[in-house]
Structure 1
Amino acid sequence: MSQSNLAFVRTEMLSARTPPAGETSPLNLLRKSLFGNWVSGLLTVMSLIALVLMVRAIGPWLYHSVWNAHSLSECRQILAGSEGACFAVVRDRWTQLLFGFYPSAFYWRPVLAFGLMLVALGPVLFPPLPRRMLWFSALFPGLAYWLIWGGTLWLPVSVYMGFIVAALLLAISRRRAGGLAAGLALAGAVLWWLFAASPVSTAAASLLPFMLPAVSSREMGGFLLSIVIGVTGISLSLPLGVVLALGRRSKMPLVKSISVIFIEFIRGVPLITMLFTASLLLNYFLPPGTNFDLILRVIIMVTLFATAYMAEVIRGGLAALPKGQYEAAEALGLDYWKAQALVIMPQALKISIPGIVNSFIGLFKDTTLVVFIGLLDPVALSNSIRASTDWQGIYWELFIFIGGLFFLFCFGMSRYSMHLERRLKTDHR
């Protein structure tokens, strides 16, 4: 062979060929995945044995389950001495597990609020949806409050007017006050909420009474309560956690000190202690005669608790970014806030997605802790159901139903986080 015919680099790509039939057969793939080596084979056999034993133990109990009965004694009569589950308690008390003691004539209100919540979350979670729907997402919290708690529609409207006041003050004072514009806008909103919101809503209600029958917080419970506390805490803890994480990394000593003290104090106190504080002590710090709703107090404490953990998760994402990203933002001539919004924070949030969703799932499950301060979450309602004469002695069926619903919510959040990671993935590894 002559010297000119030698090639050290391929000049053309080989065409793709199908793998051998034996390599892609289901039996071969199953062998490689389950019996690739002796350790894998041993674990596979042990897992199969455990699965068979579990099915043999639980299968008959589930297979002979009773769904149509009005008491545990009636279930036992139907089972006639054989082993079987009595899921009739779920069928008999499912409205109580979902809504607590919410008036049955008004069940349509929380159901409508839940449906509207899915519509409001659509443009936030799925960008292909029209961005104009974000206006409804912003208005949904006030609408949901009115639907669930009732009363006058003008109360949430007056609260939203506080944000309008803040926006107007910010636009007016930005040119004159400079860096103090944000503080002035915040002060104006707080003053509006403290002194003007209630009189304005009362006056508007006397002129145009858009009213729904009021429902007290003590009548709410079940998964309605868990969803209200969990969704509100999740929605508020993420933006507050971003602000707190930036505050902890700030170069201003006062801002950094306040952020560090807040995070370390909240993380060092159990959530149950904060819930007892919300239940017993928070009213002592309010003006005399103030009637501060218990669920609202719980939401505040849960949000503060989740915010501290969220700040640390996001700070981890900020610390994981290479220094070159900060230098690139400075090279583009961006100021601090534009650099954070356009360059730094999107990458940090992308890195932090698993930790953020993990915190969200933990927060949603922690809503069951409100049972210790007398609120009727699903666990508290299961205890009250088991204490009734009709269902005294029932146990596993209620907790299987409650655990199944919690699993659906948490599994949905987990799957969405995986979808979000795939959608935001920019490398091809």
Structure 2
Amino acid sequence: MSDTHAETVSYVRETMLPEQEPPVTETGVIGWMRENLFSGWLNTILTLLSIGFVYYVLSGLLPWVFQSVWNAESLDECRQIMKATWGETHGHACWAVIKDRWLQLLYGFYPPYPFAPDATVDAPPPEAMLPAYFRPNLTFVLLFIALAPVLFDRAPRKLLIVTAIYPFLMPWLMWGGSLWFPLGIAAGFVILYLVISMGQVRLGSLLAVIAGVIAALLWWSVIMGYVTAGLDQVVPISLPSVESRQFGGFMLALLLGVVAIGLSLPIGVLLALGRQSDLFIVKSLCVGFIELIRGVPLITLLFVASVLLNYFMPPGTNFDIIMRVMIMVTVFASAYIAEVVRGGLAALPKGQYEGADSLGLDYWQAQRLIIMPQALKISIPGIVSTFIGVFKDTTLVSIIGLLDPIGLSQGIRANQEWNGIYWELFAFIALLFFIFCFSMSRYSMWLERKLQTGHN
């Protein structure tokens, strides 16, 4: 073929078309609905059925919440107001019980002005100038300040001082008494640390730990009482005491949950390491403890704390009931945390342990720097789920006579004024627990995304 008959064909566009907006049906709300709600005939039917179900639920729930009575002195008065306002129709809440008893549901019978010996709920003394419920409110504000550097890496590191002080400050604020007693407890831990630090060089790690524990126990059981009593005589610093029977409401549930969660994690980590130990006695003790606690219902442990634990104490010992319950709930949670952490340890490849050995790290250095951070990162969902379950299980203490929100709701319903009311009290209590449990769940998801636990 000659060149005169050749034709030039362009397969590539020499000019670009102008940019155009994407179709309206593919972007924005309409695009999202087409992709997620109406992408096919089955999805469309399920969407319509779901909309109908949501409408059915909200049509009964919203009037019950918003067409309700807030100002009444009793359930009978509530019903009279409902009948006068909405006739014979049903489905109207009586939130007046929450307005009347919300402080009791939150704080139980904790005295609102516990800063003077003669402080009473009905007639606070003139010298009690601080706001009502100052001590429990300050305690829980300090709790969030103490948790900030632990939960968030951007929090100021100086707040770790509050974190270290808080475990000793919290009991003093809540129960009162002399300030020298919690300071004496803290001094025991200082003695433990100093003896271990100084004894590692001369005695070795194991003997140093044993010597530190013995020194701390001697301080707490023999010496501390005389020292704190003398200091209290010279410099009396104290708050009016509040008895444990006055604790109650959501404050009690939060107190039990915080203590159990805070103590169960380190205990659970030690139990998980002990279960994987090569030392037969250590492994047997940890396995026996974990299996025993996990095989017993929490309510049984609470009955042990309420009834049987005093039989093992010396005669005349007054072991606070809330402290006993804290111990049992912590023991119960630590056994489950140990299994969750053990699952994280088992998920690590063997190369991580071999890498730690190749770097010349000893056992505790390898666990602290390489093994345990990865195991805890893997175990985050299970740990937080256990924490949420423990926090909700604190409602079981109502069975042994402690006035948590459920126990108080039973007392409120037994009152003649509010006898027969149910849903409003339980809805309020459920909302309180939902706020804290949902917050823990959201934090867990944020921490997983931050650490990228799903990516290897």
User: Same fold by TM-score, threshold 0.5 exceeded?
Assistant: yes
Alignment of 1:102 onto 2:102: no
Distance 1:165 1:73 in 2: 62
Residue by residue over 1:90-109, the C-alpha shift from the partner in whole angstroms, topping out at 9 and shown as x without a partner, is 11101100010111223111
Out of 353, 359, 369, the residue aligned to residue 332 of structure 1 is: 359
> Residues of 2 paired with 1:210 and 1:188: CA distance?
27
Say whether the 8 Å CA contact 2:377–2:453 is kept in structure 1.
no
Give deviations 1:23-79, integer Å, cap 9, x for gaps.
324212212212333443333222212111111222222221111222112212221
Asked if the contact 2:378–2:453 (Cα under 8 Å) also holds between the matched residues in 1, the reply is no
**5+ residue gaps, structure 1:** 1-16
Deviations 1:153-204 (A, max 9, x none): 1110010010011112112211121021112111211222222222222221
Alignment root-mean-square deviation, CA: 1.6
1:224 paired with 2:251, answer yes
Please say if 1:62 is aligned against 2:65. Answer: yes
Change (3 A) 1:143 1:315: same
2:420 and 2:391 mapped to 1: Cα distance? 28
What CA deviation, in whole Å up to 9, does each residue of 1:264-284 have, x standing for no partner? 000000000000000001111
Change (3 A) 1:426 1:73: closer
Mark the runs of 5 or more structure 2 residues left unpaired by the alignment. 1-18, 115-132
Moved over 4 A (4+): 426-429
Equivalent position to 1:241, from 252, 256, 268? 268
Do the aligned partners of 2:195 and 2:208 also contact (CA within 8 Å) in 1? Answer: yes
Answering whether residue 363 of structure 2 is matched by residue 355 of structure 1, we say no
Q: Counterpart of 1:114 in structure 2: which amino acid? A: F
Taking a change above 3 Å as real, the CA distance of residues 149 and 19 of structure 1, as seen in their structure-2 partners, is: farther
Q: Percent identity?
A: 56
Query: Which residue of 1 is the match for residue 22 of structure 2?
Result: 20
Equivalent of 1:173 in 196, 199, 203: 199
Instruction: Report 1:28-177 matches (<5 A).
Output: 28-80=31-83, 81-83=88-90, 84-106=92-114, 107-177=133-203
Distance 1:246 1:414 in 2: 26
Instruction: Give the structure 1 partner of residue 404 of structure 2.
Output: 377
The one-letter amino acid paired with 1:123 is P
Deviations 1:342-400 (A, max 9, x none): 11111110000000000000000000000111000000000100111111111100000
Give the structure 2 partner of residue 315 of structure 1.
Answer: 342
Distance in 2 (CA, whole Å) between partners of 1:201 and 1:395 is 49
Alpha-carbon offset, residue 427 of structure 1: 7.3
- Are positions 1:255 and 2:258 aligned together? no
Residue aligning to 1:407: 434
Q: What amino acid sits opposite 1:333 in the alignment?
A: G
Return the offset for 1:208: 1.1
CA distance in 2, matches of 1:87, 1:30: 38
Matched, 1:396 2:404: no
Deviation at 1:331, TM superposition (A): 1.4
Match of 2:15 in 1: none
Determine the C-alpha separation between the residues in 2 that align with 1:276 and 1:196: 33
3-state DSSP of counterpart to 1:94: helix
**Partner SS for 2:398:** helix
Does residue 368 in structure 1 map to residue 370 in structure 2?
no
- Superposition map of 1:271-350 within 5 A: 271-350=298-377
Which of the two has greater helix per residue?
Answer: 1
- CA shift, 1:426, in A, is 7.0
Deviation at 1:18, TM superposition (A): 9.0
Could you say if the C-alpha distance between residues 42 and 225 of structure 1 is closer, same or farther in structure 2, counting changes exceeding 3 Å?
same
Residue in structure 2 matching 1:267, options 286, 294, 298: 294
Quote the Cα distance in structure 2 between the aligned partners of 1:426 and 1:315. 17
CA contact (8 A) 2:177 2:240 kept: yes
Q: Structure 1's 428 and 281: CA in aligned 2 closer, same or farther, altered over 3 A?
A: closer
Residue 104 of structure 1 aligns to a residue in which SS? coil
Q: Distance in 1 between matches of 2:337 and 2:250?
A: 24
Q: Which piece of structure 1 moves more, 172-181 or 276-285?
A: 172-181
Tell which deviates more after alignment, 72-81 or 374-383. Answer: 72-81
What residue identity is the alignment partner of 1:191? Answer: L
Quick one: which amino acid aligns to residue 223 of structure 1?
F
Task: Return the alpha-carbon distance in structure 1 between the equivalents of residues 189 and 383 of structure 2.
Answer: 27
Larger radius of gyration: 2
Q: Distance in 2 between matches of 1:380 and 1:420?
A: 35
Give 2:5's aligned residue.
none
Q: Give the Cα separation in 1 of the matches to 2:453 and 2:418.
A: 55
Equivalent residue in structure 1 for 2:218, among 191, 196, 205: 191
